[in-house]
A and B are shown apart, each in its own frame.
Chain A
Amino acid sequence: METSSEERPIIEIDDFSFSYNRGETDTLKNISVSCPEKKVTAFIGPSGCGKSTLLRSLNRINDLVDTACITNGQIRIMGQDINTPEVDPIELRKNVGMVFQKYNPFPKSIYDNVAYGLNLQGKQKQSDLDDAVEKSLRGAALWDEVKDRLKDSALGLSGGQQQRLCIARTIAVNPKIILMDEPCSALDPIATAHVEQLINTLKQEYTIVIVTHSMQQATRISDNTAFFYLGELIEFSPTKELFSNPKNKRTEDYVSGRFG
């Protein structure tokens, strides 16, 4: 299994293969990689290489695709195989939150967006809910910007703020892992810098796996990087090493813009 350091892995992907068409062809082929706890792991690779598919396998969002199936191997999170029948995907997603490419706040107030997951988990005292909302918004570096308008619609926020609100909504339920699928691709450079800074802060508390098309972003924010090509994991290394001295020629060709 590819692992870049001696740190304790929280996610262990072991010889994992995955198909979108009932096993006729594998979109992911025998992927083995471990993501250490409280580190940022970046998945990079050309479009269609399977990086988002793998990310979505980590919280079983692919379950929503009827014809999708695992054809080999397993994914363990905190030592538990997440694809066994006894694992409830809803419970899994409490521990493995996700932030998407296009920010997607609910058409509700800022407060209700952050409180949404907590409300789903059951009734809470209003004061506890208030504390949790404030903590999450502070954690997402958004509190100072919205504290005076918590009841305003989330849709009135800027794009960068909406994405940070989605991150606040994710961390409100206190997950162990945050998955991010190109979280900055729809943001301007300043909003991107805010989100990247937030990721740097969040990794003290959470394990983050991020799919990004920006090599510069991967070098700035991730500790380890995995390069995928045509459904295979080509290389997994500490980020600095992967971008300065890649072991595999295909990695070097891709990161330096030589892919034909």
Chain B
Amino acid sequence: MNINSHILTPFNDDLKELKENLSSMLTLIETSFNRAEEAFVNNDQALCDSIIVSDEAINNKEVVIDNLAMDILLKYKPVASDLRFVVSSISIAKSIERLGDHLCRIAKQIKKLDKSVLMAPDVEYIKDLFSLAKEQLAHTKEAILTHDASEAGECLDGEERAKETSKQISAIFVNLMSQDNEGIPNYLSLIFIARSIQRFSKLCTNIAEDIIYIETSKPNQ
């Protein structure tokens, strides 16, 4: 879609503003995600706190996007790809807000972790999961910026891979729990972190599907 070609320039401006808000909301997520990844590797409590604090800004962005979308619907009554973009923006903002919630959950679990557990070789699986979700997030952001359905399509198979890895992680740490009673709280936190990243990955897929719908009108599966 081309948001800059309407006869009515305020319509172009409002669509542009909507897109910029989606993009900047994703930038906030990107920042929090990178912090979460770093906080996990270094067991950095301060970074965890910053993720939790910045969630408010993410939530506020959702409200801004919802209001802007409502305003555009009311004023311009968009149709075709414009309508798909405006309506999907509401859904995308909701998904991004939930990405922020999952990052907060991850941060809270990292804070509970004992530093020693991060030395265990199996923790590498969680780092892999972080990398996978990071890749999906990057594709999603690029797809929003460039209106590129194929870029969004790159994100789709990540969900299955994340699910498999998360399952594997759960099996490993459940097994470790049976052997090491004292480590149970740590292993539980690691399982919760893995699940949150897996859900993060699923939400990235949902956003990618919304972008594909905007650009191609193919409905979400």
Residues of A bordering B, CB below 8 Å? 215-216, 219, 243-246, 252-253, 255-260
Contact = CB atoms under 8 A, between A and B. Distances in A.
Interface residues of B, number: 16
A259 B7 CA distance: 7
Contact of B79 (A215, A259, A260): A215
Contacts of B78: 256
A255 B79 contact: yes
A256 B77 contact: no
A256 B217 contact: no
B8 interface: yes
A256 B6 contact: yes
Interface stretch (B38-46, B81-89, B93-101, B114-122): B81-89
Contacts of B74: none
A244 B80 contact: yes
B11 A257 contact: yes
A256 B81 contact: yes
Contacts of B179: none
B217 A245 contact: yes
B5 interface: yes
A11 B11 CA distance: 38
A142 to B, nearest CB: 29
A252 B217 CA distance: 13
Contacts of B82: 256
A244 B78 CA distance: 10
B83 A244 contact: yes
A203 to B, nearest CB: 22
Given A256-B78, A257-B76, A258-B5, 7 more contacts: A243-B80, A246-B80, A256-B79, A256-B81, A257-B6, A258-B6, A258-B7
B216 to A, nearest CB: 9
A245 B11 contact: no
Nearest to A253: B5
A257 B7 contact: yes
